[in-house]
Amino acid sequence: MSFPVLIRRSCVLLASVSLLATACGQPPTDQVVLQAQALAGEPVINELFYDSAGTDAGTFIELRGPAGKSLSGYTLAAYDAAGTQYRTITLSGSIPDSGYFVVAQDTTVPNRTLVNAGADLYNGSASLRLLKSSTVIDAVAYGTPSTSRGEGSPAPTTGAGSALARVPDGSDTNANNVDFRVQGSTPGLNNGGNTAITKKVLFDLTKAEDAGKADWRIDGAYSDYASALRGLGYTVGTLTGTAITSAALSGASVLVLPEPQNPLSDTERAAIQGFVQNGGGVFLITDHRVSDRNNNGWDSPEVFNGWDGSSPASVSTSLQASLNSDILFGLGASFNSSFSDPVYTATPLTTHPILNGVSSAGVYVGTSVDVLKGTALMGTGGRTYLGVNTVGAGRVAMWGDSSTFGDNTYSDGTTGSYNNWPNLSNATLGKNVVRWLAGDL
């Protein structure tokens, strides 16, 4: 089994915390909240099963790392909600060929490597660290500990009978609430291997999203974005035909509308509204004004916000409103933005799960977002480029530039002229938006 190279991380402490000890390798004081400092080639804490149904039995801690790596000199340190260490587990032996080292509470745990009763951790809010001598290699906190010994914001608690696991398996972005999710326990196996995410993400192709040289399709300029979502365990598909219907959305968790070129009818608007109200997530990806790819008088800001008067006079009443995203969802593609908008670097404006691990994103001649209801997440120069809102039981997000998630490769095998477009489809931002919309973040 091959393994991805673990991210090399420098000694970084949360900016909001006073640095009481800054030298790399020196143990921090109890007051410092640490972002763990795992080095390339080191194992990570991959799964925790600490609360079995009934009397705790069969609990375990799983590490993931290079096969054959000796764990001599490594320990696991468990902390309570106040950050006080209550247990040390001394590791021994090497990581098996499978790449998984399972510390089991008892002999009922399959694929166990080491048996130690201390693997039964606190069920409430707590933290666990992997140490090599005094150096913190990896850390995870869960629940709402008053003093976290983990990385970034804590992961959720599991409740009895479920495990806390890194998904994708072995992934590490330095943010516990991003990397871990609650699932069935899988000791010594790939996380998600028998409990994979079955949620479906649909990319719309009913509104000429591939008109001209746009090609915002999952086998074209959004192929890497689709692959990144599949890597998280989602089923990714395309909504084809000529209309968005309630039947077509049935069974989907997220609908992505990337720079639509044709307006939506009253029936389609009602279908999307109902989808969100009933718990669905919609990702509206717009572009600049005057981006009419199929020369029908509509650009994506109009499709989202409704007819602005520049479209042909023959547009029927049922199409003039189009989606009305500003009215339905409180997020509008600003009609004040234009093709002359320069290249911007949007940065976080607040804290939000979508922004975990995100420092900036490029906006390449896009449209700013009017956040009438909800939360402005990213922007620059007094403008917002990412806004989100919860509507009914569902969620909506709007981003101001379609190229941000494109990889500049078209479905016909050619490449685009905008070679300065970065491939951000695998970046944390794009994945986080969909995870939040699907209710997984």
pTM score above 0.85: no
Examine the domain organization and report whether 131 and 33 are in the same domain.
Answer: yes
Q: What is the CA radius of gyration of the chain?
A: 24
Q: Is residue 194 part of a domain?
A: no
Q: Is residue 1 part of a domain?
A: no
Q: Which of 6-15, 118-127, 253-262, 422-431 has the lowest mean pLDDT?
A: 6-15
Examine the domain organization and report whether 172 and 211 are in the same domain.
Answer: no
CATH of the domain at 318: 3.40.50.880
Residue of 297 and 243 predicted with greater confidence: 243
The string of pLDDT tens digits covering residues 254-293 is: 999 999 999 999 999 999 999 999 999 999 999 888 888 8
Give 115's Cβ-side CA count (13 Å radius).
7
Q: Is residue 42 part of a domain?
A: yes
Examine the domain organization and report whether 146 and 207 are in the same domain.
Answer: no
**pLDDT value of position 416:** 61
Examine the domain organization and report whether 16 and 51 are in the same domain.
Answer: yes
Examine the domain organization and report whether 117 and 238 are in the same domain.
Answer: no
**pLDDT value of position 11:** 32
CA distance 76 to 90: 7
Q: What is the 3-state secondary structure (H, E, C) of 352-368?
A: CHHHCCCCCEEEECCCC
Adjacency order of strands within the sheet including 180-183: 114-115, 100-104, 60-64, 44-49, 163-166, 180-183
CA-based torsion, 347, 366, 433, 325: positive or negative: positive
The string of pLDDT tens digits covering residues 317-346 is: 888 899 999 999 999 999 887 666 678 889
Q: How many CB atoms lie within 10 A of CB 413?
A: 7
CATH of the domain at 34: 2.60.40.1260
Work out the mean pLDDT of the chain and round it to a whole number: 83
Q: pLDDT category, 18, cuts 50, 70, 90?
A: very low
Domain, as residue range, for 56: 12-183
Instruction: Say if residue 281 is exposed, middle or buried (CB neighbours under 10 Å; 0-12, 13-18, 19+).
Output: buried
Query: Is residue 47 pLDDT above 60, yes or no?
Result: yes
CA distance 213 to 406: 12
Examine the domain organization and report whether 150 and 244 are in the same domain.
Answer: no
Tokens of 251: 């069974």
CA distance 394 to 255: 11
Query: Is residue 386 pLDDT above 60, yes or no?
Result: yes
The string of pLDDT tens digits covering residues 49-99 is: 998 876 778 899 999 999 899 999 999 999 999 999 999 999 999 999 889
**Total structural domains within the chain:** 2
Last-in-domain residue among 156, 183, 210: 183
Q: Which of 385, 399, 384, 403 is nearest to 434 (CA)?
A: 399
**pLDDT value of position 344:** 86
The string of pLDDT tens digits covering residues 283-321 is: 999 988 888 888 888 889 999 998 877 656 677 888 889
**pLDDT value of position 424:** 43
Q: Which of 203-207, 257-261, 288-292, 388-392 has the lowest mean pLDDT?
A: 288-292
Question: Buried (b) or exposed (e) across 163-175, using 16+ Cβ within 10 A?
Answer: bbbbbbbbbbbbb
Q: Is residue 5 part of a domain?
A: no
Query: In the chain, what percentage of residues exceed pLDDT 90?
Result: 49
DSSP 221-247: TTHHHHHHHHHTT-EEEEE-SS---HH
Examine the domain organization and report whether 243 and 133 are in the same domain.
Answer: no
**pLDDT value of position 260:** 95
Q: For residue 87, which phi and psi values (nearest 5 degrees)?
A: -160, 145
Examine the domain organization and report whether 151 and 277 are in the same domain.
Answer: no
Last-in-domain residue among 155, 183, 211: 183
The string of pLDDT tens digits covering residues 393-434 is: 999 999 998 888 877 677 776 766 554 444 444 467 888 899
Tokens of 105: 């509470």
